[in-house]
């Protein structure tokens, strides 16, 4: 016959309960497998790195996503929260399909190309 199972002292039970609660809350903020790096950044289990200030996350490909939704891709292209892209050559692609080039030339979704003063340079109708 085995002796009765010893009871956990009430104080120890309280401490264990608090530790379990803290562990549960922390695991919601940072999943198990999250590593704290010397810089203060946190490496998440999927390989992404969250900066120490919590302002952005960098993925394994070098893409950086900020809290406001801005994404800077590894090639330098920037996607803004409104859906506009800024490319490394200085051109912009707007959500409606309009493209603005660094020299002031514009290409509109209907195929119209204008100079910086709005003069029509060409009309290239897209295929339907």
Q: What is the pLDDT of residue 99?
A: 95
Is the model's pTM score more than 0.85?
no
Q: What is the pLDDT of residue 27?
A: 55
Q: For the chain, what are the domain ranges?
A: 10-67, 82-128
Residues of the chain with pLDDT under 50: 128
The distance from CA 71 to its chain's CA centroid, rounded to whole angstroms, is 6
DSSP states of 4-47: PPPPPPHHHHHHHHHHHHHHHHHHHHS-TT-EE-TTS-EE-TTS
Q: What is the pLDDT of residue 54?
A: 80
Q: What is the pLDDT of residue 128?
A: 47
d(CA 123, CA 109): 11
Q: What is the pLDDT of residue 29?
A: 59
Q: What is the pLDDT of residue 2?
A: 74
Residue 107: other Cβ atoms inside 10 A = 19
């Amino acid at each position: 016959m085995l002796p009765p199972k010893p009871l956990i002292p009430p104080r120890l039970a309280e401490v264990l309960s608090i530790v379990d609660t803290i562990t549960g809350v922390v695991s919601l903020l940072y999943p198990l497998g999250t590593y704290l790096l010397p810089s203060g950044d946190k490496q998440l289990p999927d390989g992404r790195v969250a900066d120490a200030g919590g302002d952005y996350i960098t993925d394994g490909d070098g893409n950086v996503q900020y809290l406001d939704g801005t994404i800077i891709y590894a090639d330098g292209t920037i996607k803004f929260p409104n859906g506009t892209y800024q490319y490394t050559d200085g051109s912009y692609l707007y959500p409606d399909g309009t493209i603005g080039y660094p020299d002031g030339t514009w290409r509109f979704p209907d195929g119209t190309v204008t100079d910086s003063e709005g003069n029509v340079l060409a009309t290239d109708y897209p295929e339907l």
